[in-house]
Amino acid sequence: MLKRAIGPGSTSSSLTVSTGEILCASPAMIETVRVARASAGSSAKVLITGESGTGKDLLARYIHTHSDRSQGPFVAVNCAGVAETLLESELFGHVRGSFTGAYRDQLGQLQLAHRGTLFLDEVGEMSLRMQALLLRFLENGEIRPVGGDEPQSTVDVRVIAATNRDVEARVAAGELRADLLYRLRVVHLPVPPLRERPEDIPLLVDHFIARSGRRVTVSPAAMRVLMRHRWSGNVRELQNAVEQTLALLSTDEIEVEHLPPSVRTQSIKLVEEGERRRQVSDDLYDALVRDGYSFFDHIHPLFLSRDITRHDVRELVRRGLTTTHGNYRALLTLFGLRDDEYKKFLNFLGAHDCTVDFRPFRHGERGAGGATRKPRVLFAGVPAPGRSGSDAAS
Ligand SMILES: Nc1ncnc2c1ncn2[C@@H]1O[C@H](COP(=O)(O)OP(=O)(O)OP(=O)(O)O)[C@@H](O)[C@H]1O
Ligand SMILES: [Mg+2]
């Protein structure tokens, strides 16, 4: 069912796909689910690709549920981590006596999936010999059990395969047969990683909270942090972060400080090779001023771990002073600092050559002394803002 989204974070133009299982509001995921839904009506083979934890399994089940095979079996076979001979027997069955321990004839999963769907998970891991056997089945529907001389019954099975591998690269490396890939990829469903579809996050978060049975809301700042996080483990990692947060939560609202430290810190760690430094200070500023981070809890560790440079800190201070019209003390509120941290803050700036002359920022501020006013010495031993003189050059 497609319906207009009303969840937090979704724009009025976005759609929420409510299938009872697959939650999404991002255009990319809505398109993937749309194609999945359209493909459900046929028996075309489907290849689902995407990183681990993006919902490939869920999509395969969704297609089966919406197909006219939904009353038939959904049989999932994981092709990874199974010895080749076992996988062959698992898929095609075996005849009695064909190997040690084969005491009786055994049907394969392909036969068990008759009139239903066979989900070949992690298909990219199959050996080349297994790929040849699978291809033979896909081309003529023949099932030849291990140890059997003759092909046995043909079956009516719809095949859906999934992999988290880069299939083109596997083909180029000679590890995946191109002809098998073409056979499996009649319909291709690429599932984007969660970090590329932040619009889905509010829905997923609400879903995981609801599933816990708790009546808990998420503050807008905390939701922004969740949406900006670079989820490498995808939906599973998000689910884990929500469950972790709920386990320790004693209030009925999730604030930024309740989120797991890895999520809190990494979401403002947007420092990537080649990223413009100006953008870094903008991100830091937004994190502090808009998202409720605090200077010593979040920015300072990034500086110590060299994820941000003194130039970034200086730019951040400049941005702050622009807002406060050169008032250093007003940075306390802006940067999430306590009053008793003022000296520590100034010491930090002084020690790392990050002190910025406040005078140019005073222009336009009524009654604040103006640019001609001599800078105060704020604390003994701490250079007055504007006296370091080194910031202007860098
Ligand atoms: N859109 C979604 N809505 C609700 N739950 C989701 C969604 N996507 C993923 N999940 C949940 O996230 C978890 C991981 O999903 P799933 O097992 O389908 O991923 P996968 O791509 O098959 O992962 P893997 O590559 O590790 O096999 C599951 O618990 C699933 O229910
Ligand atoms: Mg899976």
Residues forming beta bridges with residue 379, ordered by sequence position: 382
Highest-scoring range by mean pLDDT, 11-15, 133-137, 371-375: 133-137
Cβ proximity of 16 and 34 under 8 Å: no
Going from the Cα of 243 to the center of ligand 2, the distance in angstroms, rounded, reads 20
> Per-residue pLDDT for 10 more than 80?
no
Residue 27 within a domain: no
Name the domain boundary from 168, 186, 204.
186
The average pLDDT across 355-365 equals 80
Of the listed ligands, the closest to the CA of 234 is 1
Going from the Cα of 239 to the center of ligand 1, the distance in angstroms, rounded, reads 10
Q: Tell me if residue 3 falls in helix, strand or coil.
A: strand
Residue 56: CB within 6 Å of ligand 1? Answer: yes
- What is the domain-level CATH number for residue 77? 3.40.50.300
Instruction: State whether 331 and 246 are in the same domain.
Output: no
Q: What does the pLDDT read at residue 58?
A: 94
Q: Which atom belonging to ligand 1 lies closest to the Cα atom of 55?
A: 18
Give the integer Cα–Cα distance in Å for 61 and 115: 15
Residue 287 within a domain: yes
The average pLDDT across 112-118 equals 94
Instruction: State whether 285 and 237 are in the same domain.
Output: no
Cβ proximity of 48 and 187 under 8 Å: no
Give the integer Cα–Cα distance in Å for 295 and 301: 9
> Per-residue pLDDT for 383 more than 70?
no
Q: Which atom belonging to ligand 1 lies closest to the Cα atom of 58?
A: 18
Q: Which long-range contacts (CB under 8 A, 24 or more apart) does 298-301 make?
A: 298/264, 298/265, 298/268, 299/268, 299/335, 300/348, 301/265
Instruction: State whether 115 and 95 are in the same domain.
Output: yes
Instruction: State whether 310 and 244 are in the same domain.
Output: no
Q: What does the pLDDT read at residue 268?
A: 57
Q: How confident is the model at residue 278 (pLDDT cuts 50, 70, 90)?
A: low
Going from the Cα of 194 to the center of ligand 2, the distance in angstroms, rounded, reads 15
Instruction: State whether 284 and 261 are in the same domain.
Output: no
> Per-residue pLDDT for 45 more than 80?
yes
Contacts of 259 (CB under 8 A, 6+ apart): 222, 225, 226, 241, 245
Residues forming beta bridges with residue 146, ordered by sequence position: 94
The average pLDDT across 330-355 equals 93
Q: How far is CA 326 from the centre of its chain?
A: 39
Q: How much is the pTM?
A: 0.69
Instruction: State whether 323 and 253 are in the same domain.
Output: no
Average pLDDT over the chain, rounded to an integer: 82
Q: Tell me if residue 379 falls in helix, strand or coil.
A: strand
Give the integer Cα–Cα distance in Å for 359 and 67: 70
Name the domain boundary from 133, 162, 186.
186
Give how many domains the chain has, as a whole number.
3
Residue 237: CB within 6 Å of ligand 1? Answer: no
**What percentage of the chain has pLDDT greater than the value 90?**
56
Residue 257: CB within 6 Å of ligand 1? Answer: no
Instruction: State whether 226 and 310 are in the same domain.
Output: no
Tokens standing for residue 146: 């291990």
Contacts of 261 (CB under 8 A, 6+ apart): none
How many angstroms separate the Cα of 87 from the Cα of each of 162, 164, 274?
Answer: 16, 19, 45
Going from the Cα of 56 to the center of ligand 2, the distance in angstroms, rounded, reads 6
Q: What does the pLDDT read at residue 364?
A: 55
The average pLDDT across 221-231 equals 90
Residues forming beta bridges with residue 75, ordered by sequence position: 118
Residue 344 within a domain: yes
Instruction: State whether 156 and 284 are in the same domain.
Output: no
Residue 36 within a domain: no
Name the domain boundary from 127, 157, 186.
186
Residue 338 within a domain: yes
How many angstroms separate the Cα of 209 from the Cα of each of 72, 202, 217, 242, 262?
Answer: 33, 11, 8, 7, 20
Q: What are phi and psi of 261, to 5 degrees?
A: -55, -40
- What is the domain-level CATH number for residue 233? 1.10.8.60
Contacts of 166 (CB under 8 A, 6+ apart): none
> What is the DSSP pairing of strand 253-254 with strand 217-218?
parallel
Contacts of 212 (CB under 8 A, 6+ apart): 242, 243, 246
Q: How confident is the model at residue 326 (pLDDT cuts 50, 70, 90)?
A: very high
Q: How confident is the model at residue 9 (pLDDT cuts 50, 70, 90)?
A: very low
Q: How confident is the model at residue 269 (pLDDT cuts 50, 70, 90)?
A: low
How many angstroms separate the Cα of 262 from the Cα of each of 229, 267, 309, 379?
Answer: 9, 8, 20, 35
Q: What does the pLDDT read at residue 146?
A: 82
Instruction: State whether 68 and 161 are in the same domain.
Output: yes
> What is the DSSP pairing of strand 23-24 with strand 15-18?
antiparallel
> What is the DSSP pairing of strand 46-49 with strand 187-190?
parallel
Instruction: State whether 287 and 383 are in the same domain.
Output: yes
Q: What does the pLDDT read at residue 280?
A: 81
Residue 15 within a domain: no
Instruction: State whether 47 and 165 are in the same domain.
Output: yes
pLDDT, tens digit, 9 for 90 and up, residues 136-171: 999 888 888 888 777 677 889 999 999 999 999 999
Residue 159 within a domain: yes
Q: What are phi and psi of 230, to 5 degrees?
A: -90, 85
- Residue 158's domain comprises 43-186
Greater pLDDT, 376 or 195:
195
Residue 136 within a domain: yes
Tokens standing for residue 54: 């993006």
The candidate with the shortest Cα–Cα distance to 360, out of 369, 371, 349, is 371
pLDDT, tens digit, 9 for 90 and up, residues 163-213: 999 999 999 999 999 999 999 999 999 999 999 999 999 999 999 999 999
> Per-residue pLDDT for 107 more than 70?
yes
Instruction: State whether 370 and 286 are in the same domain.
Output: yes
